[in-house]
Amino acid sequence: MDVRHGDLMDRIYRHQRHIYDLTRKYYLLGRDELIAALTPPGQGSVLEIGCGTGRNLLAVRRRYPKAHLYGLDISEEMLVTARQNSLGRNIAYAKADAADFDPMELFGEASFDRIFISYALSMIPSWQAVLASAAKMLAPGGELHVVDFGQQEKLPRAFRTALRAWLAKFHVTPRAHLREVVEQLARQSGAKVEFAVLRGGYAWRLVLRRATIEERSAA
Ligand SMILES: C[S@@+](CC[C@H](N)C(=O)[O-])C[C@H]1O[C@@H](n2cnc3c(N)ncnc32)[C@H](O)[C@@H]1O
């Protein structure tokens, strides 16, 4: 566990968590599209890495009532809010570092049908390691969905500069090589990748899909 990073996240979110969902509603774009695209198997397992207040997992619960839901976060402050918000919704939460956790120890699951990471990689220093370990935790036919800040490649330079300066105040760094890293992981494991640019590159959305057992044996 990166204790210093966890402490930093707790300091950022200690007070923010009370207004987080209201204030992020309009600028963490693409989260609901990601949830709509998840389509886990009926009673499949879904893990959110860096789940924050539980806002996304609650939406997943509404949309996929039979799925088994899990969320982890390094911030105990965020998890307090997530647990409060999720009372009676049958969502398992745990404190863990996304870069270093054992899913069996944490949740009693060795793999997941869906894993998603929403606006967390841009806050995690070892984000490449997080992607690599998440890809390994996918069940056959499983999918890793990611949404995060893009490079604002088609937006005016002034907007990009202002956004970057503002995000830096919250220790957020858009990952310029996100697409390459996910594509590299897919090449290594015979998985497929979909990439989408949202709102001129304000955000990027990626899906890495692991082959099913049948697809692997036919290849
Ligand atoms: C911007 S919030 C996003 C929350 C939620 N996914 C959403 O879309 O609203 C980023 C979250 O990632 C968590 N986080 C940051 N570094 C982490 C790490 N190394 N391991 C697990 N969670 C981490 C933070 O504590 C925070 O809750």
Spell out the domain ranges in the chain.
Answer: 3-218
- Residue pLDDT, tens place only, 102-155: 999 999 999 999 999 999 999 999 999 999 999 999 999 999 999 999 999 999
Say yes or no: CB of residue 99 within 6 Å of ligand 1: yes
Measured by CA distance, the residue closest to atom 16 of ligand 1 is 124
pLDDT value of position 159: 92
pLDDT value of position 17: 73
**Burial label, 65 (beta-carbon count in 10 A; 0-12, 13-18, 19+):** exposed
The pLDDT > 90 percentage for the chain reads 81
Say yes or no: CB of residue 143 within 6 Å of ligand 1: no
As a whole number of Å, the end-to-end CA separation of the chain is 38
Q: How far is the CA of 65 from the centre of ligand 1 (A)?
A: 24
Q: How far is the CA of 213 from the centre of ligand 1 (A)?
A: 32
Check pLDDT > 90 for residue 4: no
Question: Residue-wise over 23-44: b if at least 16 C-beta within 10 A, else e?
Answer: ebeeebbbbeebbebbebeeeb
Q: How far is the CA of 215 from the centre of ligand 1 (A)?
A: 33
Are 71 and 92 in contact by the 8 Å Cβ rule? The answer is: yes
Query: What are residue 173's phi and psi, to 5 degrees?
Result: -125, 110
Are 93 and 79 in contact by the 8 Å Cβ rule? The answer is: yes
pLDDT value of position 218: 82
DSSP H or E run through 208 = strand 203-209
What is the CATH number that goes with domain 3-218?
Answer: 3.40.50.150
- The confidence band for 219, taking pLDDT boundaries of 50, 70 and 90, is confident
Check pLDDT > 80 for residue 26: no
- Residue pLDDT, tens place only, 152-185: 999 999 999 999 999 999 899 999 999 999 999 9
